[in-house]
Amino acid sequence: MHKTIVGFLIIFILQSVLFAQDSARVTIKVYTRLPDDSSVVFITGNNPVTGDWNPSYLKMKKVNDTTLISEIYFDKQTNFEYKFTLGSWEREALNDDKTIPSNYKLKITADTTLEYFVKYWSDGQRRIPEGQITGAVNYHNNLGGKEILPRNIIVWLPPGYESDNNKRYPVLYMQDGQNIIDPQTSSFGIDWQLDENADTLIRKGYIEPIIIAGIYNTNLRSSEYGINDTADLYKKFIVEELKPFIDLNYRTRKEKENTAVCGSSLGGLISFELAWEYPDVFSKAGCVSPAFNIDRYNYVSIAGKYSGYKKPLQIYIDNGGKGIDSLLQPGVDEMISVLESKGFEKGKDLFYEFYPDAAHSERDWAARVWRILIYFFGTEKEKRLL
């Protein structure tokens, strides 16, 4: 056999062995009676392989009228959360008592086979969202980037914005913008209630009036909020296209001292990246339940290797103690240690709070978002109460 062919075979065999060592096959079987012959079952979850919670991304294979199956390969040690749908969140699988289930969870360490029996599917009626929009908002739909997917932007305006045409405002840029203000667009029917919190704090004089710009995510969320070329393009879009657009169309204070960015989970990670890499644009980063170092994401090592001047930032970090947040805690602890080694001080330019009873959800983030607003935009009197 030709030496070149032998060489390719050896490389292929070695790659196959390494892949087998680093990955695991998850076989998922669903037993159910579908509403009709045309129904299709999908698996959706918190991983790109399953569409990053896109409810119609990964179709299961139909074995017979009552059995469906999927085989999915993951990196070992992946923390996988998932659900089943008929193609939309209005048609997701229900518990036996017809309630909406919590996410299924699996820590992937080896090849695994899982079986589920689904008696009921939701009937197509969207869950009634909790809450409403407080204050004035503008929508900018399909705002295009030069090198990334277009997305919607929601802009919340503070009380008094329309009555004083000379006043300018700081801006808070928020990731996962569909989940922060409008319960009708929020992925799980519950929003961060950022509008209610900001409106109340402004009217009471606890924080200065601010503008909030919510950036909707896309089906490339895990890449755009990650540590890769796609994320670099997303950050460039915010800095070079979105911020100039907001500054042009709204009465903003453009300086870095008046510009903050915030998000949760991977949104917390990308918010940290934006402030860390663009300290001339952002002076404040809010990192809620942040994914600093978990699975394939690790920004702790990047921040740890930095050896330049102390970055002029205010950094807010918090985390809960339940579910996914407990898995994120080691990375949070590592990042805080790195920041302190770079000269950041708790109580000054670094704020950290731990909520032992809080989970990884919009409901829990809504309960503590007021702290972020006061830390970034509050009066000195109010900041002392944090």
pLDDT higher than threshold 60 for residue 1? no
Print the domain residue range for 74: 23-118
Listed residue (190, 324, 204, 193) closest to 265, CA to CA: 324
User: Do both 228 and 359 map to the same domain?
Assistant: yes
User: Do both 280 and 151 map to the same domain?
Assistant: yes
Would 14 be classed as within a structural domain?
A: no
Would 12 be classed as within a structural domain?
A: no
285 Cα distance to chain centroid: 14
User: Do both 65 and 155 map to the same domain?
Assistant: no
Q: What CATH number does residue 69 fall under?
A: 2.60.40.10
Q: What is the pLDDT of residues 34-74, one digit of tens each?
A: 888 888 999 998 888 888 788 888 999 999 988 999 999 99
**Domain boundary residue among 74, 91, 118?**
118
Which of the four pLDDT bands, split at 50, 70 and 90, describes residue 19? very low
Would 185 be classed as within a structural domain?
A: yes
Q: Is 344 left (phi over 0), alpha (psi -120 to 50) or beta?
A: beta
User: Do both 307 and 184 map to the same domain?
Assistant: yes
User: Do both 275 and 305 map to the same domain?
Assistant: yes
Q: Which residue has the higher pLDDT, 90 or 82?
A: 82
Helices H / strands E in the chain, number of each: 10, 18
The token pair that represents 94 in the structure block? 């229900």
Q: What is the pLDDT of residues 173-206, one digit of tens each?
A: 999 999 999 988 887 778 999 999 999 999 999 9
What's the number of domains the chain is made of?
Answer: 2
Residue 109's alpha-carbon distances to 20, 24, 76, 188, in angstroms, are: 12, 7, 5, 29
Alpha helices in 238-282 (DSSP H): 243-249, 266-277
Would 127 be classed as within a structural domain?
A: no
- When the pLDDT of each residue in the chain is averaged and rounded to a whole number, the result is 90
Would 292 be classed as within a structural domain?
A: yes
Q: Is 295 left (phi over 0), alpha (psi -120 to 50) or beta?
A: left
User: Do both 114 and 141 map to the same domain?
Assistant: no
Listed residue (86, 37, 89, 78) closest to 59, CA to CA: 86
**Domain boundary residue among 88, 118, 148?**
118
DSSP string, 291-329: -SEETTEE-HHHHHH--SSPP--EEEEEEESSTHHHHHH
User: Do both 65 and 156 map to the same domain?
Assistant: no
pLDDT at 18: 45
pLDDT at 125: 59
Burial readout 46-64 (b: 16 or more C-beta within 10 A, e: otherwise): bbbbbbbbbbebbebeeee
pLDDT higher than threshold 90 for residue 90? no
pTM of the model: 0.75
User: Do both 227 and 305 map to the same domain?
Assistant: yes
Would 367 be classed as within a structural domain?
A: yes
Q: What CATH number does residue 322 fall under?
A: 3.40.50.1820
User: Do both 108 and 140 map to the same domain?
Assistant: no
3-state class (DSSP) for residue 90:
helix
Would 5 be classed as within a structural domain?
A: no
User: Do both 113 and 158 map to the same domain?
Assistant: no
Q: What is the pLDDT of residues 135-175, one digit of tens each?
A: 999 999 999 777 899 999 999 999 999 998 999 999 999 99
**Domain boundary residue among 69, 89, 118?**
118
User: Do both 286 and 149 map to the same domain?
Assistant: yes
Q: What is the pLDDT of residues 238-264, one digit of tens each?
A: 999 999 999 999 999 999 999 999 999
Amino acid at 101: P
User: Do both 140 and 113 map to the same domain?
Assistant: no
Would 361 be classed as within a structural domain?
A: yes
